[in-house]
Structure 1
Amino acid sequence: MKRLTLWLCAALTFASAQAASFASVPLRPEGEALRREVLSALAALSASDFPVTLDESAQAAGSVLVLGGSVPFNPDESSRTLTVGGVRRTEFNPQGPVPLAEAVRAEIGSLLGLSEFTPQAARRKLSGADINGDGKVDLSDLALLMGNYGKTGGGLPGDLNRDGRVDESDIRLFTDEYRIP
């Protein structure tokens, strides 16, 4: 245990240069115009060492995004979200009160739970290192990780790489995000 503690202290002090992380956001934009806006919004959330990409795969089962709707929009409404057959569907008002790019960014920010629409906020939220979900990667997140260190099973807080165990690889991922205040 002493060896692990020393290793952890060194890792937190000198955040290691590991392979770049990334996040893939499950969304299903319909139509080329909307797809372009989604890609532009995700590019605005990306950093060179933490790209945020679009996962449109069938297994992603993300929210469906469409331009227009099945019923007329209130003129003051930029978008609306409903559930159809168990699938989340967001409809954007083509003549809405804000430009489509702004409405798409607002919706993606809301879907991801971002406090601000920046690469830093996206990295904090999507890296998994913000284990308690408070918008900060800090010692309380480390405490949750270490409380589960050595455990195995699905959905463990601190299993950042989602391999079913909390171990050194999760600590490495955590140190990529933690900054000493």
Structure 2
Amino acid sequence: MPNMMIDGLALIILGFTISFTFYVYTQYIPNFGISVLGLSENVAKTLMSWYAVFSLVSVFVTTILVTKIKPILLVIIYPLISLIFLVILVIKPSPLLAKITSAVIGFFAAGGVWQLGLAVLTQYFPTEKGRVTGYYSFAAALTYFVGPFVSSFIINDTATSVLKVFWLDIVFTAIGVFLAVFVEARNKKYHFFS
């Protein structure tokens, strides 16, 4: 039987990290375009278009994938791909890579992975769906306070500060990947689900 204090808490924190990844990205990618890449404000804002289009595409693709792949595996793979592209973008920033990363984050961080995390959580705790959904949603909502609050201590108009915010996003995304792998490892060890 899954343990609420171990598996439940890990999945609830995962809900926070998933939301943090895409929220911080969407809030600061225009700043990244302007301060790090030297793009005009209008061109920097187009990075959000790449994000938005691919988040919509992901909803449809993920709907198909979830019938063939266990949701927890998608909850591992999607943030892992986001993490890889965030790291590459920060290490080797370029306008082309910013467009690609915006599409990747849209697809893999915003296109339904949060909902898949919730589906895994309610599968683990089917008799407490209302309660765990509330906790999971609260953790995600906390992102909208914590993200700007923490970033406000780091961000200014310099490229260095914007890169620091993106490193923060990388750290939270990595925590999410770790938590998803941890939950699946416990599932394999204790055979909660096939």
Q: TM-score, normalised to structure 1's length?
A: 0.29
Question: Hey, which of these two has a bigger chunk of helix by percent?
Answer: 2
Which has the greater radius of gyration?
1
Question: Hey, which of these two has a bigger chunk of strand by percent?
Answer: 1
Q: TM-score, normalised to structure 2's length?
A: 0.28
Which gives a bigger RCO, structure 1 or 2 (Cα 8 Å, sep 6+)?
2
